[in-house]
Amino acid sequence: MEENYFVNVLKVLDASIERGTWKGSEIEGVAHLRKITLQAIKNIAEASQQEEEKEEVEEVEEVEEVEVEEVVEPINKKTGEK
């Protein structure tokens, strides 16, 4: 949701620049605001990607743990070990 906010701010800035809304002295401030907005979008995207990768690793670890238990239990039954 936060990413959508910054994307929309970027769209408004770009549209207003295309329409010539800003005067010469204001362009530097608008460029700075646009740069900050782009950085915020990039940071949010990177954080989201890292969170997704972390969740994928956790899912794989859970699956591997279950698979090991499924293999070990039948072996233990055959050998009489616990």
22's torsion region: left (phi>0), alpha (psi -120 to 50) or beta? beta
pTM above 0.85, yes or no: no
- pLDDT tens for residues 25-80? 999 999 999 999 999 999 999 998 888 888 777 776 666 565 555 655 655 555 56
pLDDT of residue 64: 58
Please report, as a single letter, which amino acid is at residue 70: E
Q: Which pLDDT does position 71 carry in this prediction? A: 57
Sole residue written with tokens 């701010």: 9
Query: Which residues contact residue 45 at a Cβ distance below 8 angstroms, ignoring those fewer than 6 apart?
Result: 3
Between the two ends of the chain, the Cα-to-Cα distance in Å is 50
